[in-house]
A and B are shown apart, each in its own frame.
Chain A
Amino acid sequence: MVTDNSADGTRTAPADRVPSGAGEASEVPLLRLRGVGKSFGPVQALTGIDLDIPAGQVTALVGDNGAGKSTLIKTIAGIWPPSSGELIWNGERIHIHSPRDATNLGIAAVYQDLALADNLDIVQNMLLGHELQRFGLLDEVKMELTAKQTLQDLRVTTVRSVRQPVGSLSGGQRQAVAVAKAVMQDAKLVIMDEPTAALGVSQTELVLSLIAQLASTGHAVLLISHNLNDVFQVADRIAVLYLGRLVAVGPAAEFDRQSAVDLMTTGTSTRLHDGNGSEAAASGNVSSGSEG
């Protein structure tokens, strides 16, 4: 047990970790994973994951290929149930049996394929399955206004017309539409799987600012990324997975690039760049040794 006495941290024990972002410490995290494990037959994909995902913050989930990132987000998104452990949503134990359960709770996953229909325009995509009607017919005006408002709230300003087909959008804009669609359907936790993987520099900027905006509007964001540049730019908290175990979790400030890489590739980090770096390493060691 390591006591973290950094300025903005109040962590005492891993079993009771709370978000250490300033001003958020007293709140119950939106989603809390307790000892979550997942096995596929004899293969143990996840072991004893303890993770808090607070509202209004970006939690980045990093790890090498095969570390279990996808397994973990699919567990949260209801693709399959956990084999062990529990999920606590706003302080209540929950059981998610299907993606629909997750959606109803307010968990939205934006996968890499985005699930947008290229032939439909932005408004039509954002309201797909939730169309507004007037006199039994689609109310295009109201839908357009709603979609515009949501995009405005997310500060998505690069889109010239909300009536252009999604097929004509750039990669970053498509990502933005997919996120706006999730937000529009009352998502409280938005899981983003490698949102910048196929994007150029300015498009990546667009998506990162969107992520920041999401968090500042009170959404919890779980960001899965390989790209540490992106992670350090937007993440409030970083969680490192290594071979199905959570080897480190803490405020982004406690990590540096090298310690993150070490944790992702070896599961530990002994580098002592500065104070923060060593703390991250220490907390990582504690996490990997916790009982789960």
Chain B
Amino acid sequence: MAGTERGGAPEDQAGSVAVAGEPEAGEQEAAQIALASAPDVLAGSLGEYTRVWLRRVRNGESGALPVIIGLLIIGAYFQARSSAFLSAGNIANLMGQAGWIITIAMAQVFVLLLGEIDLSVGFNSGVGATITIWMVSVAHPFPTWLAILAGIAVCTVIAGIEGAIVAFLKVPSFVVTLAGLLTLSGVLLWLYEQTGSVGLGGVIQNHNGFINGIVSDNLSTNLSWIVLIVVVVLAAVFMIGRDRRRRANNLVAPPLSVTILKLAVMAAIGVALVLVLNANRGTLFTQLRGVPWVVPVVLVLLVLTTVLLGRTKFGRYVYAIGGNAEAARRAGINLNRIRVMAFALCGLMAGVTGILYASLLGSISNNIQGGQYVLYSVAGAVIGGVSLFGGRGRMLGAVLGGFVVAVIYNGVILLGLGAAGQYIWTGGVLLAAVLLDAVARRGSSGATN
């Protein structure tokens, strides 16, 4: 991790040395730039694009590649140990389990990018879920949409308050949200004391079909295909349209072949997933087919948050504050406003997490392992390449990282290793992800000095 955020400094030195007088400065500088920039904006042809990309991979700057390779290795291992791992039934299961782990990792990204952390995110989602499920479980239930909105709103406000304390009173977020973790775990217990007969024994059973259906209901097989086609077509229109506009303005854009390759890979993964999930995974007497609703839900959240972080002023300022808060301040950015908003968004995603969690379990209880789940959230984000020190990382990374955590969770249960194996595996993968990153970066800085 030490390398993740300090990466700039040695590169900087190497760059200035190279320019200062060595004859091969051009080549070294090119390597530096390739190392630092996405190939999308440097290469005009497929060959050039591949060269830039390979150089980045060699230097450990390979974006989502390590986490995808890690995913394949872990998946292959589990499949070798248990042939049920890649069965349609288990893949559908995995999607349901992954939903909330991915969203809790996404929640953490907003604050990690600022260089902050939210330790209360687990219990926060528990409190929100409890409010939502309680509202649909009382004798005269509230409308489902209102219950969901209320749960998410409570989480958003709680995290927003924590953010305000961090921003305005300049208290480290670690401490503020640690207090939040303790307080909210108490609030959670207290809530069940207040619910009376509904939450008897510290458990509220959820009978709301809509909420349970997010994980347990599936798109019809036809709808699954239609959604996939729409997603791929929209992605193609967006990517090709963006590149065309760049070329029309004489800016470098990735070659069409690369764009088509990316779309093809995306489509292939989608087709494989839909094929598996559209196969009948029911019992002898019941048909069970289609993609669980949680998959498109997470995809929509991924698109929305990626646009928010990558294409809006708010997102740009989040990265700027994480990179250099003083620079952001001098640029006239209202740091406190952005910080509070980022924490609130973390809370919003925590609220979503709570609903997906309750949907998976079909109930919600005061026994939520909020302290454990916050570690999943940080682990997922960091495995996905989000820096703990702010300013670096993408939402897609957190989704992939969260998925890795979910795969381990799923696979270890499948192998019957229990909680012990699950924790050890998750810890090992987290350490491996960080070590890989650190070693690759050391290798790259050594090569260019």
Chain A residues at the B interface, C-beta cutoff of 8 Å: 99-100, 103, 113, 115-121, 124-125, 128-131, 133, 136-138, 141, 144-145, 158, 160-161, 163-174, 199-203
Q: Is B42 touching A161 in the complex (CB atoms < 8 A)?
A: yes
Q: Is B8 touching A119 in the complex (CB atoms < 8 A)?
A: yes
Q: Is B42 touching A113 in the complex (CB atoms < 8 A)?
A: no
Q: Please, could you name 9 A-B residue pairs with CB atoms under 8 Å apart, sorted by A?
A: A113-B326, A117-B327, A118-B8, A119-B319, A138-B312, A164-B33, A168-B33, A173-B15, A200-B19
A173–B307 CA distance with the chains assembled, in angstroms: 30
A23–B15 CA distance with the chains assembled, in angstroms: 41
Q: Is A202 touching B320 in the complex (CB atoms < 8 A)?
A: no
How extensive is the interface on chain B, given as a class?
A: 35 or more
Contacts of B38 in A (CB 8 A): 163
Q: Is A129 touching B332 in the complex (CB atoms < 8 A)?
A: yes
A118–B392 CA distance with the chains assembled, in angstroms: 10
Q: Across the two chains, which residue of chain A brings its CB closest to B21?
A: A202
A138–B319 CA distance with the chains assembled, in angstroms: 14
A129–B332 CA distance with the chains assembled, in angstroms: 6
Cβ of B193 within 8 Å of any chain A Cβ, yes or no, is no
Q: Across the two chains, which residue of chain A brings its CB closest to B322?
A: A119
Interface-facing stretch out of B133-141, B243-251, B291-299, B427-435: B243-251
Contact of A161 among B11, B15, B41, B333 (CB under 8 A): B41
A129–B312 CA distance with the chains assembled, in angstroms: 12
Known: A117-B324, A119-B391, A141-B251. A167 touches B37 (CB 8 A): no
Q: A128-B316, A165-B37, A201-B20 are in contact. List 14 more A-B contacts (CB 8 A).
A: A100-B332, A116-B324, A116-B327, A128-B320, A130-B331, A137-B311, A158-B19, A168-B15, A169-B15, A170-B19, A173-B15, A200-B16, A200-B21, A203-B16
A169–B8 CA distance with the chains assembled, in angstroms: 9
Contacts of B41 in A (CB 8 A): 161, 163
Q: Is B32 touching A168 in the complex (CB atoms < 8 A)?
A: yes
What distance in Å separates the Cβ of B192 from its nearest Cβ neighbour in chain A? 43
Cβ of B371 within 8 Å of any chain A Cβ, yes or no, is no
Cβ of B276 within 8 Å of any chain A Cβ, yes or no, is no
Q: Is A117 touching B12 in the complex (CB atoms < 8 A)?
A: no
Q: Across the two chains, which residue of chain A brings its CB closest to B329?
A: A115
Contacts of A141 in B (CB 8 A): 245-246, 249, 251
Contact of A133 among B37, B249, B313 (CB under 8 A): B313
A172–B16 CA distance with the chains assembled, in angstroms: 8
Q: Across the two chains, which residue of chain B brings its CB closest to A159?
A: B33
Q: Is B12 touching A138 in the complex (CB atoms < 8 A)?
A: no
Q: Is A115 touching B330 in the complex (CB atoms < 8 A)?
A: yes
Q: Pick from B20, B38, B307, B392 the residue with the most CB of A within 10 Å.
A: B20
Contacts of B21 in A (CB 8 A): 200-202
